[in-house]
Amino acid sequence: MAKKAIGKVAVLILACLMAGGVRAADRSLSQDDVLLLLLGGATTEKMLALIEQRGIDFRMNPDLAKKFHDAGADDIVIEALQKAGARVQPGTATTPPSPPATNQGQAATSPAPAAAPAGPQATASGGPAGDQYPLAPSFSLVDLSGQRVSLADYKGQVVVVNFWASWCPRCRAAIPRLVELQDKYRAQGLRVIGLSVDEGPGAVRQYFQMQHVNYPVAMADWKVRKNYGGISGVPTSVLIGRDGRVYFTRVGVPDGQGLSSYLEPEILMLLNTSIGGGAPRPREAAAPLAASGETTPVPAAPTGSARAPKLTDPSSDQVQNIIQEFAAKEKLFKEARNNYTYHQINKLNELDPDANVVGTFQQEWDIIYDDSGKRIERVTYAPPDTLKGLLVTKEDLDAMRNIQPFVLTTDELLEYDVKYLGHVRVDEITAYVFSIRPKEILKGRLYFQGTVWVDDRDLQIVKSEGKSVPETKTKKGENLFPRFTTYREQIDGKYWFPTYTMADDTLYFSSGAIHVKQTIRYTDYKQFKSKVRILSTAPVDTTTPPGPK
């Protein structure tokens, strides 16, 4: 994206002084040092040299990684900071690491905090050792009926805070179950609160007008989502005990008959554990429910837990075989996708410093075939562009078509360096994680640079996170790209199709920074000449993506 108006270049004297040695040369870099160096325009080579020479005095976490990315750090610098942070002795870091978000691949590259127990443990006196668990972050919101919903009003009760979205099929599937649970255990003190992560209340209100929901529903603002760990996947249900502490988080919902037992063992455990002296933990809560994902303490605990079987890393030879196999599968998928028509909704918002939308670019495309069988792209909706400081370029449109729904086939594999990072859990699946970087950047070409998650059973990409490269900064202008995440879903029972892309990033132009937010939805997949739709259209105004299914 290019800037419409180029102003004077700001010079950050402080960062230059910091890089020049105002601090003692033997002192480790602090978070502020790193941030100022990045804002001052320090090159990747300079950052790597300083990190290697001086080290850092803090441990990395996803919040810091995003903060440094926003300030201009590339993946190489972030990786160096993660490695340097891993060498910091526990207890010496200036700021303790926050728990990793559920949809991040940080477990592959940075240490995770020690896992807390799986549920309320009994003390020697018979009461739960509640001080092992974090207090639930308080919030006070106005629900869809205009009534105030405050967590403080639920003191002494067991509360399920359900983060969901109207466009999420699994969220909608879980709502009748939550209604049933509150009806069943209301007299014993169970209360459910629904917090929607939709961008606006319109679709939420419309959905609930058709449902018989017996609990309040409000819109989760950015502060609530941040306080609960970022809520990187929906649905996310946070279970809070009578003492106001968070004991469980469950991300996702089980399929089929597993839904009938969803959340009930944990709820029963908390209902039967009184403040200051309750019953010991029931045996069935010590293991996850069948087909329902892992139960982990939160806020925003990583998918999986200490109780889950440890994922093993393949050997070097096996890694190379996996790379070749998933690239071959991706080639087959790309050919298969060319036989599908679909609808693509592209939306880009420009935000002011208070996160208010000040301008929007939107285009909707039908990817179809003409009468001669030729695959074409038809623009079906394109309201006037109201962006204030940004200009959508042809490179941006190319990225929307080819880079953000990233596919790495055998043909493209020769153009990239692929590095194995780890074996992790992502929502309800397990995946291999790989770093992807172009070997060489040819003029006039766009490439993907970032990380991909490859399902370890189907050997297909289920999630990608990164950005388009190269970015250009010349006297003629600047063209910058936001960092994005693309999610795929298994549409036809065989291949994983991209269904959602999101980006929430700050682009640092020489004349100033611009906050952008982008969403892309790929909907209505159906095979060419087929009358059966495979994926129904979902609203584009979304803030939290679905995880791989």
- pLDDT tens sequence across 429-455: 889 999 999 999 998 899 999 999 999
| Structure tokens, 142 | 């106005």
pLDDT given at position 285 = 30
- In the predicted model, what is the mean pLDDT of the chain? 77
Rounded Cα–Cα distance for residues 57 and 122 (Å): 37
Residue 67 has pLDDT above 60, yes or no: yes
More confident call, 219 vs 128? 219
Percent of the chain scoring above 70 in pLDDT = 76
pLDDT given at position 408 = 94
Rounded Cα–Cα distance for residues 93 and 282 (Å): 37
Full 3-state SS string of 191-226:
EEEEEECCCCHHHHHHHHHCCCCCCCEEECCHHHHH
DSSP string over 453-471: EEETTT-SEEEEEEEEE--
Residue 74 has pLDDT above 70, yes or no: yes
Q: With b meaning 16 or more CB within 10 Å and e meaning fewer, what string describes 106-127?
A: bbbbbbeeeebebbbbeeeeeb
Query: What value does the mean pLDDT take over residues 301-319?
Result: 66
Is the overall model pTM greater than 0.75, yes or no?
no
Confidence tier at 131 by pLDDT (50, 70, 90): low
Amino acid residing at 185: Y
Residue 109 has pLDDT above 70, yes or no: no
pLDDT given at position 89 = 66
More confident call, 548 vs 484? 484
Rounded Cα–Cα distance for residues 415 and 413 (Å): 5
Helix 75-86 vs helix 44-54: crossing angle, to nearest 10: 10
Residue 5 has pLDDT above 90, yes or no: no
Residue 119 has pLDDT above 60, yes or no: no
pLDDT digits (tens, 9 = 90+) for 499-536: 999 998 888 888 888 999 999 999 999 887 544 444 43
Helix 13-20 vs helix 31-39: crossing angle, to nearest 10: 120
**137 closest CA partner among 222, 215, 67:** 222
